[in-house]
Amino acid sequence: MPEVEIGKVTDFFSRPVVAGIGLTATLKLGEKIHIKGHTTDIELAVDSMQIDNVDVQQAKAGDAVGVKVSERVRRGDIVYKVTD
């Protein structure tokens, strides 16, 4: 499946397990992302996204969002949107 780079992991929180992502493109709830880095390689559907601790349906380039993830990710990991 084609992938488009949409941002980078800027932060990671272990409780709850959330990745802070700086976006360079839009991201909507329900879209599938792929986070890839030196030791990271996970794919997930975005089912929870927040900006400043407020739930949002979508975010745009320049936004810093928190997305729930299934496992540890690291600063600098690249975030891709998986397109059909």
pLDDT surpasses 90 at 1: no
Sign of the C-alpha dihedral, residues 4, 66, 44, 36? positive
pLDDT surpasses 80 at 84: no
Domain limits, the chain: 3-82
Predicted pLDDT at 28: 98
pLDDT one-digit tens code per residue, 34-76: 999 999 999 999 999 999 999 999 999 999 999 999 999 999 9
Q: Which of 29, 30, 16, 7 is nearest to 77 (CA)?
A: 7
Instruction: Say what the pTM is.
Output: 0.94
CATH code of the region 3-82: 2.40.30.10
Evaluate whether 31 touches 81 at the Cβ level (below 8 Å). yes
Coil, helix or strand at residue 14: coil
